[in-house]
A and B are shown apart, each in its own frame.
Chain A
Amino acid sequence: KAGVTQTPRYLIKTRGQQVTLSCSPISGHRSVSWYQQTPGQGLQFLFEYFSETQRNKGNFPGRFSGRQFSNSRSEMNVSTLELGDSALYLCASSLRPRGKPNWAYNEQFFGPGTRLTVL
């Protein structure tokens, strides 16, 4: 079974630009979460999408947004890029099958990440 895939793997942008990152979850997984990883702040939760709806959101400004498509693939967008947005952006998918308690199927599997550099 293929793992979580993220594209692109590397990206260089300049301040003020916007960027869109893509994530394809493991086949059959219905939930996609996004995380930002930086040396200073570590791994921080951005948001989660389930059934095409944002179900959870971390403490990030509105410049960070996302969406999920009917095939569970997800994109995240960062507008008006700042130098501090340079980070590894990780996508994780989890199963969340219907009719099962969420806590038992919250194991999140991560993709390789997109390394974003803002100049």
Chain B
Amino acid sequence: GQQLNQSPQSMFIQEGEDVSMNCTSSSIFNTWLWYKQDPGEGPVLLIALYKAGELTSNGRLTAQFGITRKDSFLNISASIPSDVGIYFCAGQLDSGGGADGLTFGKGTHLIIQP
């Protein structure tokens, strides 16, 4: 199936550093979602974006819906040890007849060194 291009694949950073990851697609979406998944658990929704150009924050997390509707980024400021995990972007298209299933990126594995 279709997948989003998510980068980087993994990140090794020091505690306190800022983190940035992004997703690009060849198709447009009208919803972008960012999830975090811990080992043995399901993905947890972090941020949802609904408008092109929209910038949304959730605590130390900030995400933007690209103006072309084909990309999104997620920033994490001042990383802490509990930020460790796999981050997924997901796009969804609703062309008027109802939303399609989510299309996911391959994930960014965030590892934090204390």
A interface list, Cβ under 8 A from B: 4, 33, 35, 41-48, 55-56, 58-59, 90, 92, 102-104, 106-113
Contact = CB atoms under 8 A, between A and B. Distances in A.
Q: What interface size band does chain B fall in?
A: 20 to 34
A103 B45 contact: no
A112 B41 contact: yes
Interface string B1-36: 101000000000000000000000000001101010
B99 A103 contact: yes
19 contacts: A4-B42, A35-B101, A42-B104, A42-B107, A43-B43, A45-B1, A45-B102, A56-B99, A56-B101, A58-B101, A90-B42, A92-B42, A102-B94, A103-B31, A103-B50, A103-B94, A107-B48, A110-B43, A113-B41
B103 interface: yes
Contacts of A92: 42, 102
Interface of B: 1, 3, 30-31, 33, 35, 40-45, 48, 50, 88, 90, 92, 94, 98-107
Contact of A55 (B33, B98, B103): B98
B103 A113 contact: no
A33 B48 contact: no
Contact of B45 (A47, A56, A59, A107): A107
A42 B103 CA distance: 10
Contacts of B105: 42
Contacts of B107: 42
Contacts of A111: 42
Nearest to A115: B40
Contacts of A108: 33, 45, 102
Nearest to A113: B42
A20 B88 CA distance: 27
